[in-house]
Amino acid sequence: MDAWDDAVEDEARRDPRIADELRERLRMIRALEAFTPSAALGVDEPTWVPARIDSFTRLERIGSGGMGIVFRAHDERLGRDVALKLIRPERLLFEGALLRFQREVETVAQLTHPNIVAVHSVGAYAGADERANLPYFAMELLEGRSLSEVLRALCGCAPEALTGADLLAALGGGQSAAGEPGEGGEGGEGGEGSGPPRRTAPAALFEGAWVDAVLRVGVQLAGALEHAHSRGVVHRDVKPSNVMLAPSGRVVLFDFGLTATHAASPQRLTATGNPVGTLVYMAPEQLEGRETSDARADVYSLGVTLYELLALQAPFGGESSLAIQRAVLMGDADRLRGRNRRVTADVEVVVAKAMAKSAADRYPSATALREDLENLLARRPVRAKAPSAWTIVARWVQRRPAAALASASLALLVVGGPLVFLWLERRHSTALEALVDKERAAKGEALAANAELEDVVNFTLGMFRRATPGRNGGAVPDARQMLQLGAQELPALAGRPDSKARIQLVLGELFGLLTEVGSAQPHFDAALEYYAARDDEDARAQRMYGLRRSAHNLMLLRRFEEAEAQLAEALQLARERYGDDALELHVFYATEADLQRDAGRLEASYAARARSLAVLERAGVPEDDVRVARARGLLGVNLESLGRPSEARVALENALAWNGAHDGALGAEESLFLLTLADLDLADGEFARALDRARRAHERLLASHGADNFMTEQAELTIADVLGRTGRFGEALPMLAGLAASIGARLPAAHPLVVRVRRLQLGCLVGAGRHVDAVSLCQSTGLVAACVEAHGLADSRTRQVLHTLAMSAQIVQDYECAAAVLQRLIDAEFAAEPWGARHADAILMLAAMRLKTDQTEQLSASEAQLRDLVAGIGAAPLPVVSSANGQTYEGGYMALVFLARVAGRDPARLAAARDLERRAEERKQVVMEPQPSAARPQSDGGS
């Protein structure tokens, strides 16, 4: 031991309570010796970072702050540049800082939204002696400039004179970055040395007036917060330096290091009462260090950011931090229209409501703010209302109590003291009683909401506790097992029905996301039954949400009538809540489109998809908005189903082009569009292109959604389809077997996706010559019945399955099975095209098999079918391609030949047999001789 060890041990003996902590601190200090001390000293060049970290090659520093440093790096594994963020080594000495860094990674990793920075990977870099690990994570490399840099570039400009084009011009000196937002460091995400960003054509965001451009920025940021809040994440540090603006028009929110979550760790990262955030942008409740600050604090910060962009100056100022804090707490901001005369009254009202001093007076959610920002852009009335004259006076009194008291005293003296005082006393008494009643009601609602939230949090924490290895024999359960463990604890909430119903809705959606549709539905049913028994606004809102999700789940269960009824009720509740032409309705029509498509009602599905798009267009959603791009791409998927390939291809390729220009904003739909294009390529025989598209989709889905995700499996299925069609059965069959086991365990046997897997398996088995396995597959899985239920008897897919099975059954000499399947095929072909070529071939195949195998008892049935066939064909020739040998024969002639053979088996009917042979020869002379291209049929009829 050295002097440090001696000192620590001496101190530990004097105060055993801190012994463990002292030893741990000494261990960490020594571990940090693995890194060059320059990092701790804050020198400019971070020599402690090597040129290569795992698979990343460091290129240049692009941002730094008190928490960490961000580098531009190249990911050798995936061949792309990323923003690599490392915590400063000295921060490892402070547990709260490390937890904050880790929480930023965990928080952003669970958020998937085009306006939130994406985390690609997470790791830890070990020093030279491997005594310490330096955490890092790789983010997408954002292109453009932060809004704080834009504001600095426009400093001194008059906001009235600016346009959206000036916002684009302000990005001209930007760079690619995803850096640390300052924190008293070197300036954050900017930095020098990277050069200007790649310039693109001006996006819709930069068109028109400055005010409109700022509102479009606000819509994207509100959408990002809406996504985060829906997952229980509150950012708590929304400000211009944490927002990146790309020349493409994409707005990205990053730095989630100060987030709070509904299910956060019990260990706080900031002391109680300490404000968290950046002073000017902090809501009053944050400045006061209140633990009750929620998502409305983010709404406030976004309002301040919009104010600053519109006015080119912050709403609050002062010579000291204390003065700024006082101004924020008093809500003492100058009127926005006084700083920018081009701001309309409605814009001022919306920004003021977002920045309201009291959280209760603000927009209740980022969703509500986004909707009013969209209303402003569409020139529709906003929901926010201008404050009344009394409210304005009351706020003035709050801000300037001395001046208010003097003015009131003068008024009382002039008007007459006694009468005014009496009137004020009565008014005050009435108002006080109303406030007390209102406070009691609000307190009751708040207590109920808090209890419900506490139940949800405790339930979630309990589910994770039960998932620890020590409680499960050392095994860590997967997501499905965790949900099942959680569901077992629901009876404990019997006395808290509100909480139980909310948790059951969440469990239903989570099971549904894992395609555990059978496990999901009971939770939806129980929650919906509870909310139906209540008659209040919150219950109707929860039921509306639950009905839509349940309808989607019932669709996967093939319970279409129930799904349609639930979706209709959900749509009615949405109309009552939002209005007949509200933007929110587009998601309900989108769900209806999915339902109708899965039910095989393709025209109805297309109509619903068109309604969804029309709602977006009527609401004035910009052409460049991701929702419009997604809806138009999905319309292309519908067009492909309707057999309109050229229109479908244009719509899908346009959607993918938009996605490429917007940094992959479509998310999982990009893969869906690629797979649909792959199906179109398959139909055109473009197998190489189809395989390339399917593999690209599979790679992206595998990285973003995992191997057992519904869409990942669909991509793998398309790959197997291409392999099967190109004769690579040995590669396709193992993939199909795995997919059949995985998908078949979660979806009904008659689901189109399950049927498709089985059909491809059947085709590949036959292609590989494994006819015994093909027959066994059909019999063990009930493929024919499932195909009929999924698509109908007359559908071409059902008829192909019947035809393939009939051929395989004959090859393996299972004539009983072959006869039953051929009879079903005859019925199917008759339903599709009576007396057509394929119908005739099926009848002749069955007759030929019965003649060949001496099935005397069944020949009478075949004779009746052959006579009906001759009558149905009539005098016109019917060329038929033989299923057995591919040769072409004439259906009427062959039917007469077979009738003669059947009759000839009975000595009493020899005359009838000769007559039928004569008729066959006559038909051959009249119908077949003028057709030199038609091959003469074989003696067995070619069937």
To 10 degrees, what angle do helices 401-415 and 417-466 make? 150
Token representation of residue 221: 């940021």
CA pair distance 628, 454, nearest whole angstrom:
38
Token representation of residue 61: 């520093």
Cα 90 to Cα 8, 70, 87: the distances in Å are: 20, 16, 8
φ/ψ (deg, to 5) at 924 = -65, -40
Q: Report the b/e string of 611-622 with b at 16+ CB within 10 A.
A: bbbebbeebebb
* Among candidate residues 6, 267, 252, the one with its CA nearest the CA of residue 146: 252
CA pair distance 284, 332, nearest whole angstrom:
12
Place of tokens 């209303």: 375
Query: What is the torsion angle, in degrees rounded to the nearest 10, for the CA atoms of residue 509, residue 511, residue 516 and residue 522?
Result: -80
Q: 935 near 889, Cβ under 8 Å?
A: yes
CA pair distance 281, 400, nearest whole angstrom:
23
Residues paired with 44 in a beta bridge: none
CA pair distance 280, 277, nearest whole angstrom:
9
Cα 924 to Cα 1, 178, 882: the distances in Å are: 110, 80, 17
Q: Report the b/e string of 319-337 with b at 16+ CB within 10 A.
A: eeeeebbebbeebbbeebe
Q: 237 near 301, Cβ under 8 Å?
A: yes
DSSP 348-415: HHHHHHHT-SSGGGS-SSHHHHHHHHHHHHTTPPPS--PPPHHHHHHHHHHH-HHHHHHHHHHHHHHH
Q: 815 near 809, Cβ under 8 Å?
A: yes
CA pair distance 11, 1, nearest whole angstrom:
15
SS3 assignment, position 877: coil
CA pair distance 547, 572, nearest whole angstrom:
11
φ/ψ (deg, to 5) at 880 = -130, 135
* Among candidate residues 137, 133, 102, the one with its CA nearest the CA of residue 28: 133
Q: What share of the chain is helix, strand, coil (3-state, %, to 5)?
A: 65, 5, 30
Q: Which residues are catalytic?
A: 237
DSSP 8-state code for residue 175: E
DSSP 8-state code for residue 137: E
